[in-house]
Amino acid sequence: MNFTLPHFELPFFASLLLLLAAARLFGEIMERLKQPAMIGEILAGIMLGPSVFNFIHRTEELKVISELGVFLLIIIAGLEINIEGILKSMKGRNIVISLLAFFIPFLSGILVGHFYHLDEMATIFIGLCIAITALPVSIRILMDFGKLNTSLGQKIISIAIFDDILALTILGIILDLSNTEPTFINISKTIVFTILKLSLFVLLIIYTYKLINRFSQKENYIQDKLNVILSLLKGKESLFAIFFVFILIFATITESIGLHFIIGAFFASMLISKELVGEKHLKTIHNTTNGMTIGFLAPIFFAGIGLEFQFSAIENFGLLLIIILVSFSSKIIGGYLGSRIAKLNHKTALAIGIGLNARGIMELVIANIAYKAGIISIEIFSMLVIMGVFTTLCTPFLLKKAFSLVEK
C-alpha cells in the first residue's frame, strides 16, 4: 500500500525558491563529502516531490527551466572537449578500448531488457544509459584526485569523449525509430535516413572545423575580428550572446532535420576553443556558462529528476538489482578487455574500466529524454536514476584504490 502526503499547491516562484534552495543545500553537503553535487540535487527533488513530502510537482514551467538546464549541461560537456581529443581517442589502440568500453555495456543492457521481456525501444535505451560515461563527472573525479593531466587520466577522458559522441549518435537513430511503424522496411529506411542526416551534419561540423583552422593559422585572425565586433556592440554580455547564437544555429539545424537539439549543441560547443576565440574570451564563456548552469539551471534539472522519481513505481526489484550489477560490471569488463587487447597492463586496464563507470549527467539527460518521449516507463526511469546515482557514488572510492595500485 502506497502512502502519499497531501499535495499543497505552492505558487510557481515559491516552488522554484524551495526547490533551488534545497537542491543547492543538498548539493553543497554532497560536495563536502567529496561526491558530485548532482546526487544531492536529485535527493532534494525526491524529498520535496511526491515520493516523500509531496510539496512540489514538476509543472510545465519547471520542465521548461529543466530543458534549458539540459541545453547548458550539454554545452558545458562540449566545451570540455576539443576535436584533437576526439582524434586522439580514435587513434591506434585507443579505438579498441573505446569500442569495447561502449558496446559490451550497451549489448549487456539490451540482453537484460530482452531477458525481462521489455519493449524493444526500452531495452535499447537501457543499453544506452548503461554504456554512457558522464564526461563532466569523470573530469571532476579526476580533478579531485589530481590525476586529470596524467597519461592515465587523459586516456580515460579521451575514451569517455568517444563513447559520449557514439551514444548521442545512437540516440538520434533511436528517437527517429520511436516514431516509425515497427516493420523491417520502415526500420531499415529510418536507420539509413537517420545515419545520412547525422553524416551530413557531421560533415558540416568537419567543414566548419577546417574553416576555423584555416583562419586560425593566420595569427589571431578570428580573435581580432571578434574583438572588432565586440567593440561595436554596447551590451556587457555581447560575447555570451554571440556564443549562444553560434550554438543555437547548430541546435536549430539538428532539430529542423528531425534530430534532438542536444546533438547540435554538443557538437557546436566542441568547436569553441582557445585557438578560436582566445584564452581570455574562452575563460569568460566558461565562467558565464558555468555560473548560470551550475548555480541555477543544473540544480533545477537534477532536482526535477528527483521530482519525477517514484520509488513506489518500482515493482521489479530483481530487474533493478540486475541493472545496477550489469551497469557496473559490464563497463569495467569492457574497459578492462579493451585495455588488455591494447597491450596495457592489468592494473592500468582495471583503472580505466573503473574510471569509465561515472554516469549521472549524460545518462540522466538521455533517460529524461526517453521518459518524456514515452519510450520508457516511470519504473524504468526510476531504476536508471538509482543506477546513475549508485555507480557515480562508487566510482571515486574504487578509482582511488585503482590509482594507488597503478602507482605501486
User: For 54-101, how does the pLDDT look when each residue is reduced to its tens digit (9 = 90+)?
Assistant: 888 888 888 888 888 888 888 887 887 767 666 665 666 778 888 999
Long-range contacts of 204-210 (CB under 8 A, 24+ apart): 204/253, 205/250, 205/267, 205/268, 205/270, 205/271, 208/271, 209/83, 209/271
Name the strand (E) or helix (H) holding 157: helix 151-177
Q: Are residues 158 and 89 in contact, defined by beta-carbon separation less than 8 angstroms?
A: yes
Torsion region of 220: left, alpha or beta (phi above 0 gives left; psi -120 to 50 gives alpha): left
User: Is the C-alpha dihedral spanning 138, 144, 148, 150 positive or negative?
Assistant: negative
What are 332's three cell numbers? Answer: 569495467
Radius of gyration of the chain (CA): 21
Q: CA–CA separation, 299 vs 301, rounded Å?
A: 5
- Provide CB contacts within 8 A for 103, sequence distance 6+: 131, 334
pLDDT tens per residue, range 371-402: 888 889 999 999 998 898 888 778 888 888 88
DSSP letter at 273 equals -
Closest CA to 78 of 164, 143, 184: 164
Q: Are residues 101 and 108 in contact, defined by beta-carbon separation less than 8 angstroms?
A: no
| Banded model confidence at residue 333, pLDDT cuts 50, 70, 90 | very high
Higher pLDDT, 76 or 183: 76
pTM value is 0.77
CATH 1.20.1530.20 fits 74-296+316-406, yes or no: yes
- Average pLDDT score over the chain: 84
Q: CA–CA separation, 54 vs 67, rounded Å?
A: 22
Q: CA–CA separation, 335 vs 135, rounded Å?
A: 15
What's 37-106 look like in SS3? HHHHHHHHHHHHCCCCCCCCCCCHHHHHHHHHHHHHHHHHHHHCCCHHHHHHHCCCCHHHHHHHHHHHHH
Higher pLDDT, 236 or 298: 298
- Provide CB contacts within 8 A for 242, sequence distance 6+: 226, 229, 230
State what percent of residues in the chain have pLDDT above 70: 91
pLDDT tens per residue, range 258-275: 777 888 888 888 888 877
Higher pLDDT, 359 or 183: 359
pLDDT of residue 1: 44
